[in-house]
Amino acid sequence: MMTALLFVTALGASEAMQQAFENANTAYQAEQFQDAARQYQEIVNAGVADPVVFYNLGNARFRMGELGPAVANYERALQLAPRMRGARDNLRYAIAATSNRLARPLRDSWREALLFWDDSLTLTETRWGGIVLWVAFWAVLLARYLRRDKRLTYAAVLLFLAAAALITSTYAKQFPMQLAVASGDSVAVRTGTSDDDTLRFELKPGDRVRVQDTRPGWLQVSTVNGDRGWAREEGLILVGPPYTAPRAPETP
């Protein structure tokens, strides 16, 4: 009875989300981008982490002229669905519209070296692939226990390596490089965590940087070119996960 009640509640919430998604789409098509962005954002705030919602939200933000939030949402969509063609194209378009046109920072060298193959796989694919191979490995190991056969030994080794690769990839996707996107008009990056520290360089809306360290109110960021410094947290949107609500740029 209780399970049935929970199921019905979840079903109702899901229907409500679907309705909100459709309303947001309608607002977008009526060129009410602000309204559409608000509704997409509400879906995200309700705990939905769907690449299509992030993609549509990115579009709405782009139409509103907010390059930073647009880039951040396209990046989120691509984190969840790396093969999503529309998100890739629109991210390219948005980056081309930024002032600095900075490329995305590179991943750690160990990730680049070990996980060069997993760019186009989603977290779900690597996770379930890893689980299936892991179960298969133990099954083959059990079969080998029952029947000593060299072929089973080879199969077990191969399955173990494949499962380990997919599990490592899953881990890397669950804890990706922490990316942030500049959202303020001009985000000052300084040598230290004080406004009195020397200005190193400035980020423009849509510039993507890697977050390397945090201090209260400050993030240590680095660009793809290796420039590094501290920027105020409020000027940057953390891409996630977790997919927190991006801050709207301050209006004068």
Check binding of 67 to another protein (CB under 8 A): no
Smaller CB distance to another protein: residue 142 or 215?
142
Residue with tokens 């849509």: 206
Number of residues near another protein (by CB under 8 A): 62
Query: Cβ(152)–Cβ(144) under 8 Å?
Result: yes
**Pick from 37, 55, 67, 230: which binds another protein (CB under 8 A)?**
55
**Pick from 37, 39, 41, 56: which binds another protein (CB under 8 A)?**
56
**Pick from 39, 41, 48, 221: which binds another protein (CB under 8 A)?**
48
**Pick from 103, 157, 161, 245: which binds another protein (CB under 8 A)?**
103
Classified as helix, coil or strand, 141 is helix
Tokens of residue 6, six digits: 């929970």
Radius of gyration of the chain from its Cα atoms, rounded to whole angstroms: 22
Check binding of 232 to another protein (CB under 8 A): no
Rounded CA separation 55/25 (Å)? 12
Helix axes 2-29, 33-45, angle to 10 degrees: 160
* Residue 221 parent element (H or E): strand 218-222
Q: 217: alpha, beta or left, given left = phi > 0 and alpha = psi -120 to 50?
A: left
Number of residues assigned to the chain? 252
Contact set for another protein, span 134-173 (CB under 8 A): 134-135, 137-139, 141-142, 145-146, 167, 170-171
**Pick from 6, 92, 149, 186: which binds another protein (CB under 8 A)?**
92
Can you give the binding site for another protein, defined by CB under 8 A?
A: 14, 17-18, 21-22, 25, 28-29, 43, 47-50, 52-53, 55-56, 59-60, 62, 85-86, 88-90, 92-96, 100-107, 119, 123-124, 127, 131, 134-135, 137-139, 141-142, 145-146, 167, 170-171, 174, 224-226, 241-243
